[in-house]
Structure 1
Amino acid sequence: MKLTQGACTCPAHMGGRIISKHLPTCKSNKMATQVPMEYAFEMASSNIRYGENATSEVGMDAANLKAKRVMVLTDPNIAKLRPMKTAIESLEANKVNYTVFDKVRVEPSDISFKEAIAFARKYQPDLYIAVGGGSTIDTAKAANLYTEYPDADFLDFVNAPIGKGLPIDKTLRPLIAIPTTAGTGSETTGASIFDFKSMNVKTGIANRALKPVLGIVDPLNIRSGPLSVQISAGLDVLFLFVRSGIYTHASTYLHPYSHSLESYTAIPYKLRGPAPENPLLRPAYQGSNPISDVWSIKALKMVVDSLPKIKKDVNDYKAQSEMILAATYAGIGFGNAGVHLCHGMSYPISGLVKNYNHPEYPTDHSLVPHGVSVAITAPSVFSFTSAMYPERHLQIAQIFGADISNAKLADAGAILADRIRQFLYNLELPDGISAFGYTYSDIEKLVQGTLPQHRVTKLAPLAAGTEDLSKIFENSLKLYN
């Protein structure tokens, strides 16, 4: 019988977190209970269709599903652009009844979610189609969920400890996701992220029941818009390894970057905690595992190669196609492994910002794009987490171009941090969180906004307490100077 990790308070477990393989025999672990440790992981993903002009098939998909009432979700910008036009033409060509909700908020909030939920409850769709970035796809997931649970309180399914994190025991209506950014990978996952306004932090809902039945990944859908949006989404892909809009600016492409880095360095699934009493209770984010590792490594390599090309030439269509595919790869990886500190710390960075608008983002509210907010702390985060699994940190550094032939494991964090910092500098990312208006006096609020993000922070390979988070934020005030 393996023991749980939760009760051990010896130094090797860093206040209850396993960072050692000695737990089953740890003599200091006198409070441990005889509960089986996790022994399995699950691999879940949407069906994916990839190809230029694949969006034109969505009307046939709706007809094949015998849909009678389709709710198409998008944002006010995408509503005027090619991907939406193509989707609507396809629905009409196949004589599918539909209505359009075009009020999705870029970086959605609980308020904007509730607006979409109210619309869906009134219309009662039997199929949802999301045309847009992660913001649109996540909004569609929430609308679908709460329409099927009309009596639920909004916090019932929101991740604990902010919400109750209740399991979803109903089959939801089908959702088809058509991403227009190479970023979140939301077309593959059961995660739905939003700003929780009353607490000024981001949180979300994570459950496999939310994942789309189909993700239509069409490279033509990202061939317009400003560079900064493409870079932000791309950085999210990159850091998921270790939101809404058609824009393919550098900001957009940062998303797959983060997903890949974080999922590859997450705590292994067998060390995540006790096994669930019922498979229904196994979380969507389970820790690193052999299958997610494959998708994450592939996504990371693709982003590191393609994102600088897009920065050099925003019309490099081959690189754009690679990026939207990398986002899907990263989504499969992080959608099952999860992310950790970069994402947990990004939520208060985005949620507390007051007077910053990222270049080329057409919004009417203060906004730090998600890909930028997760990338900005990465040098400091991975310098910190490298104490665990330094081999993986060196492997990532090598993908970024570092010569690790004579590198010492103890130097893994510094080597990787330097390579990430140079990568972000070349993409002209803002110079730390101070560029968003944050100062040393804001660090306590940023830490307090990070601490409740258990869904992701508890997957970090090394437990980060208040002092650790404070130091990471402090070191992230400036990146380059």
Structure 2
Amino acid sequence: MANRLRIVHLLRQLQAAACRCPAHSGAFHQGTGAAMCTVQKTDYAFEMASSNIRYGEGVSREIGMDLQNLRARNVCLMTDKNLSCLPPVQAVLESLTKNGVRYKIYDNVRVEPTDSSFKDAISFAKRDSFDVFVAVGGGSVIDTCKAANLYACHPDADFLDFVNAPIGKGKPISRALKPLIAVPTTAGTGSETTGVAIFDFEPLKAKTGIASRAIRPTLGIVDPAHTLSMPERVAANSGFDVLCHALESYTALPYNQRSPCPPNPINRPAYQGSNPISDVWSRHALHMVAKYLKRAVRDPEDTEARSNMHLASVFAGIGFGNAGVHLCHGMSYPISGNVKTHSAKGYSVEHPLVPHGLSVVLTSPAVFNFTAPMCPERHLEAAEILGADIRQVKREDAGAVLADTLRHFLFELQVEDGLGAVGYSKDNIPALVKGTIPQERVTKLSPREHTEDDLSQLFEASMKIY
């Protein structure tokens, strides 16, 4: 009897001291949803979310059957003008026609989309009652299609309602969207797996985006045959995006150090910080990049290498889609947004362009040298995966070793020699820093806190790589 009374007493003590976080508080379930995470300031949980993925050479031919299975009556197919006459789009159209699927094509997607190009695609989507969306292309196409689906399902929303704060209002998405099937034709963005849509916000000349699990594709159809037509530099720049997705998500601030603790699960961001599940995907993607990227760039007919880089893009997408990225991506947005004259090789566009993967990787040696003191073991492991001998390396040298390993990797792939080679000078650094500051959705996931002076020094160190 005494033992029973003691147990009851202990249970009452535990109840009185219980955490009032949403996951633990009875009040959360009984109240109005206004319960707050009052005990701890940082998060205590992470979520795993990804699109369904189908992989295999020729799977694009199945999309017509998928649309039949969804009982699609009116499909919006989005692509860009360069792709519209190429085999990936033709394969999808043949499948739709064969299976009697009714569709309309929007082929005016802009490579490196802007708020204006997003709005044009949104207007197209609103003009008709589409019940399924299909995106065939790279990250620009898939991201544009995500935005079109979102705003077509929220016809009264202001464009900035769902755009990430502080540029937009960052409102949570509570309404279900239409199914979206993504058919990636490049091996880089991983957009077929994520709830993120990135664009240039022209008024600020900086990239921002929309981030919510609600906008991720229902299905990603990953057909490795589509990557065989990528030009050499497109393959390289796409691969650099995979490289940085893997490195940044693996070294991101741990999920249980990210703040604030969300008052409601719907407020938990898609980019949560590194966690045990994302680590598995990010690390494996890095191994694949180390093994296959150089081969995929140097020989477009190396089907094994190009197919595996397509898979690496998916793996890294699942990793960073749940963990997030940090400084390389945060700093890349103003690099792409402020470009004046650089014409990227291998891209058929009429406007100046620093491709996303290139804008990300140019700062990587400086960034990882900077972040290494906060998690040197992870930086050393990454350097070893990329080919460095770390047996005699001290923890305090982790940043320098990974930076040198990246420089060697980029030199072998003939990457432009820093920001200076794509049209920037030290005079542009204030504008680049100004464009990075609004990117707190990603920069706050840096494992090391940073000031504007730190950002200036990182941009200056990235003017020349070799």
Give the TM-score normalised by the residue count of structure 1: 0.89
Question: In the alignment, what sits opposite 1:78?
Answer: 83
* Secondary structure in 2 matching 1:100: strand
For 1:148, the equivalent position in structure 2 comes to 153
In the alignment, which of 401, 405, 410 is matched to residue 396 of structure 2? 410
- Whether 1:97 aligns to 2:106 is no
Could you tell me how far apart the structure 2 residues matched to 1:335 and 1:386 are?
A: 22
> How far, CA to CA, are the matches of 1:125 and 1:237 in structure 2?
32
Residue of structure 2 in register with 1:112 after alignment: 117
- 1:280-319 CA-to-partner distances (Å, cap 9, x unmatched) read 1100000000000000000011011111112331221110
Residue aligning to 2:66: 61
User: Is 1:46 the equivalent of 2:32?
Assistant: no
| CA distance in structure 2 between the aligned counterparts of 1:398 and 1:55, rounded to whole angstroms | 37
Distance 2:106 2:216 in 1: 20
Matches within 5 A, 1:302-381: 302-381=288-367
Contact 1:2 1:35 in 2 (8 A): no
Q: Is the 8 A contact 1:138 1:191 kept in 2?
A: yes
Q: Which residue of 1 aligns with 2:167?
A: 162
Query: Distance between the aligned counterparts of 1:429 and 1:214, measured in 2?
Result: 33
Q: List runs of 5+ in structure 1 lacking aligned partners.
A: 4-32, 240-258
1:288 aligns with 2:274: yes
**Match in the other structure for 2:144:** 139
Identity %: 59
1:479 equivalent in alignment to 2:445 = no
Q: Is the 8 A contact 1:183 1:234 kept in 2?
A: yes
Distance in 1 between the 2:302 and 2:443 partners? 36
Q: CA contact under 8 A between 2:325 and 2:445: conserved in structure 1? A: yes
User: 1:2–1:37: 8 Å Cα contact kept in structure 2?
Assistant: no
Query: 2:211 aligned with 1:211, yes or no?
Result: no
Partner of 2:296: helix, strand, or coil?
helix
C-alpha distance in 1 between matches for 2:383 and 2:40:
38
Conserved? CA contact 2:186–2:230, under 8 Å = no
1:235 equivalent in structure 2? 240
Shift of 1:394: 0.3
Select the residue among 357, 381, 400 that pairs with 1:395. 381
Aligned-residue offset at 1:2: 12
Alignment equivalent of 2:199, drawn from 184, 194, 216: 194
2:177 to 159, 172, 176: 172
- Alignment counterpart, residue 448 of structure 2, candidates 462, 469, 474: 462
Which residue of the partner structure matches residue 220 of structure 1? 225
* Alpha-carbon offset, residue 35 of structure 1: 4.2
- Pairwise CA distance, 1:400: 1.2
Contact 2:188–2:241 under 8 Å retained in 1: yes
Q: For the aligned residues, what is the CA RMSD?
A: 1.3
Q: Is the contact made by 1:2 and 1:36 (CA closer than 8 Å) also made in structure 2?
A: no
Residue 463 of structure 1: CA displacement?
1.1
**Displacement, 1:37?**
2.5
The residue type paired with residue 306 of structure 2 is Q
Taking the aligned partners of 1:132 and 1:212, their CA distance within structure 2 comes to 13
1:433 maps to 2:419: yes
- For residue 202 of structure 1, give the secondary structure of its aligned residue in structure 2: strand
Separation (CA, whole Å) in 2 of partners of 1:160 and 1:57: 39
Q: How many residues align?
A: 433
Q: 1:102 Cα deviation (Å)?
A: 0.4
Name the aligned partner's letter for residue 91 of structure 1.
L
Does 1:262 find its partner at 2:267? Answer: no
Counterpart of 2:278, as a letter, is: S
CA distance in 2: counterparts of 1:284 and 1:118, whole angstroms: 26
Aligned residue in 1 for 2:264: 278
Find the aligned partners of 1:442 and 1:146 in 2 and give their Cα distance: 35
| Residues in 2 aligned to 1:35 and 1:95: alpha-carbon distance in whole angstroms | 55
SS in 2 for 1:176: strand
Where 1:59 maps in the other structure, the secondary structure is: helix
Is the Cα contact below 8 Å between 2:296 and 2:309 reproduced in 1? Answer: no
Q: Is the 8 A contact 2:271 2:322 kept in 1?
A: yes
- The 2-side partners of 1:394 and 1:34 are apart by 35
The superposition leaves residues 54-105 of structure 1 with CA deviations (integer Å, 9 ceiling, x where unpaired) of 0000000000000001000000011010010010110111111000000000
Q: Which runs of 5+ in 2 are unaligned?
A: 1-16, 20-37
Decide which structure has the larger Cα Rg and report it.
2
What residue in structure 1 maps to residue 42 of structure 2?
Answer: 37
CA drift of 1:411 comes to 0.3
- Conservation of the 8 A alpha-carbon contact between 1:344 and 1:450: yes
The correspondence of residues 242-257 of structure 1 with structure 2, limited to 5 A, is none
- Structure 1 residues 322-351: Cα deviation after superposition (integer angstroms, max 9, x where no partner): 000000000000000000000000000000
Deviations 1:12-53 (A, max 9, x none): xxxxxxxxxxxxxxxxxxxxx854431100000000000000
Match of 2:8? none
Q: CA deviation at 1:464?
A: 1.5
SS of 1:186 mapped into structure 2:
coil
Separation in structure 1 between the aligned mates of residue 449 and residue 377 of structure 2, nearest angstrom = 18
Q: Could you give the per-residue CA deviations for residues 89-144 of structure 1, whole angstroms, max 9, x where no partner exists? A: 10111111000000000011000000000000002210000000000000000000
